[in-house]
Amino acid sequence: MLVPLAHHDWQVLRTVLRAEAAGRPPLGRELRVSPTRKSKDGSFLDELVADGLLTPAGRPEGGAGDAAEPVPFRTRYTLTERGRHAAEFGEYDRPYTPGDAPLTGKAAALVAARGGRPKGRKRA
């Protein structure tokens, strides 16, 4: 299933792509390209990592004295293959696997009328 990127996320991925071309993975604080409420705590970086677009490159920099700055801003990030594709085209492919859902509507009524057994061949 193709998932389009939000403009802000696309900007972040393009910034990582340019920084990698320059030779050094960027810090999370460098990826805060627009200072909005959504980006003030670094959770947008965690979402990109969870989607498989970015991956942390090493441990967070700075010591325990940097408690004022969130951990995502002190971490360096690199693109994954999926993230590289998303940075280029603005969309990425995510597998879609629907979960099990209970039957509703007419299908549920038919199965209930049969006593909970689906229609099919009888086995001997």
Examine residue 14 and state whether it is found in any structural domain, yes or no: yes
| Residue 96, both tokens | 């879609």
**In the chain, pLDDT over 70 holds for what percent of residues?**
89
Residue 96 phi, psi (nearest 5): -115, 115
Q: What is the mean pLDDT of the chain?
A: 88
Question: In the predicted model, what is the mean pLDDT of residues 3-23?
Answer: 95
66/73 Cα distance (integer angstroms): 10
Domain enclosing residue 94, as ranges: 2-113
Q: How many domains does the chain have?
A: 1
Examine residue 90 and state whether it is found in any structural domain, yes or no: yes
pTM for this model (two decimals): 0.75
